[in-house]
Amino acid sequence: MVGIERNNRPRRLSRDFYKRTSISVAPDLLGCVVVRIHRGTMMAGKIVEVEAYKQSDPASHSYRGKTKRNEVMFREGGFLYVYFTYGMHYCANVVTGRAGRGEAVLIRAVEPLVGIERMVWNRYRRRRIRSPKELVELTSGPARFCQAFGIDKRMNGASLLEGQIYIVAKDRGISFHTGRSTRIGISVGNEKRWRWYVRGNEWFSGKR
């Protein structure tokens, strides 16, 4: 139903797709499907909320140049940049642009599609959710998405063109309305409207 099972060969997004600027790639990622193979189980989710970051942007980890932590962000597009924050959370970015640019797109929320039982276990260590709220909170938020999809620091630097995490193009013919706003949770660069989301989607809950 998602278009990933139907094709024998899933269409991973290409290097050329990722090598564009973060501000071009970010809105194009809406509606695309993140696929993760986690300990033999496939999970998939539709991307419904993203934010763009770039080196000239004071809110970006790449702002002060390349370091051990953000090295992946300076690679050519098509890698996963995972960082640890607030002493307990991971967040995942899609690296974009040409090598040395320091650009990336933060995945802020996905709509769960495949492997929901595994996501529930990863997030809550339970077999079942206890409320509709828990289903929405499963993957709505950058750290929630990472926890549900089993993404931690070991996934930092993973290639999206091969291996156990990748992104599949959206089905042609599917349409949806998108919105745009300022980014969430930053104290500088607040004026930039580099956040995009799928309007009306449950897993993008308005503010978040």
Partner DNA sequence: CGACCGATTGACT
Partner DNA sequence: GTCAATCGGTCGG
- Distance, in Å, from the CA atom of 85 to the CA atom of 107, rounded to the nearest integer, reads 15
- Distance, in Å, from the CA atom of 193 to the CA atom of 69, rounded to the nearest integer, reads 26
Q: Considering beta carbons, is residue 12 or 208 the nearer one to DNA?
A: 208
Q: Does 84 interact with DNA (rule: CB under 7 A)?
A: yes
- Distance, in Å, from the CA atom of 144 to the CA atom of 122, rounded to the nearest integer, reads 10
Q: Which of these ranges, 7-15, 41-49, 80-88, 174-182, lies near DNA under the rule CB under 7 A? A: 80-88
**In the complex, minimum distance from the CB of residue 90 to DNA, in angstroms, rounded to a whole number:** 9
Q: Does 187 interact with DNA (rule: CB under 7 A)?
A: yes
**In the complex, minimum distance from the CB of residue 8 to DNA, in angstroms, rounded to a whole number:** 34
**In the complex, minimum distance from the CB of residue 113 to DNA, in angstroms, rounded to a whole number:** 19
Q: Does 49 interact with DNA (rule: CB under 7 A)?
A: no
Rounded to the nearest 10°, the torsion over CA 65, 70, 71, 76 is -90
- Distance, in Å, from the CA atom of 40 to the CA atom of 149, rounded to the nearest integer, reads 12
- Distance, in Å, from the CA atom of 106 to the CA atom of 34, rounded to the nearest integer, reads 13
Q: Considering beta carbons, is residue 152 or 171 the nearer one to DNA?
A: 152
In Å, how far are 56, 62, 208 from 189, measured between CA atoms? 10, 13, 18
Q: Does 121 interact with DNA (rule: CB under 7 A)?
A: no
In Å, how far are 56, 58, 149, 166, 188 from 63, measured between CA atoms? 6, 6, 28, 26, 11
Q: Considering beta carbons, is residue 11 or 153 the nearer one to DNA?
A: 153
Strands (E), 153-201: 165-168, 178-181, 195-198
Out of 45, 62, 77, 111, the only residue in the binding site for DNA (CB under 7 A) is 62
Q: Does 201 interact with DNA (rule: CB under 7 A)?
A: no
DSSP 145: H
Out of 37, 42, 113, 143, the only residue in the binding site for DNA (CB under 7 A) is 143
Q: Does 87 interact with DNA (rule: CB under 7 A)?
A: yes
Q: Considering beta carbons, is residue 28 or 171 the nearer one to DNA?
A: 28
**In the complex, minimum distance from the CB of residue 146 to DNA, in angstroms, rounded to a whole number:** 8
Q: Does 59 interact with DNA (rule: CB under 7 A)?
A: yes
- Distance, in Å, from the CA atom of 74 to the CA atom of 165, rounded to the nearest integer, reads 19
Residues forming the site for DNA (CB under 7 A): 51, 53, 59-62, 64, 67-70, 73, 81, 84-89, 91, 93, 104, 106, 123, 137, 141-145, 183-187, 208
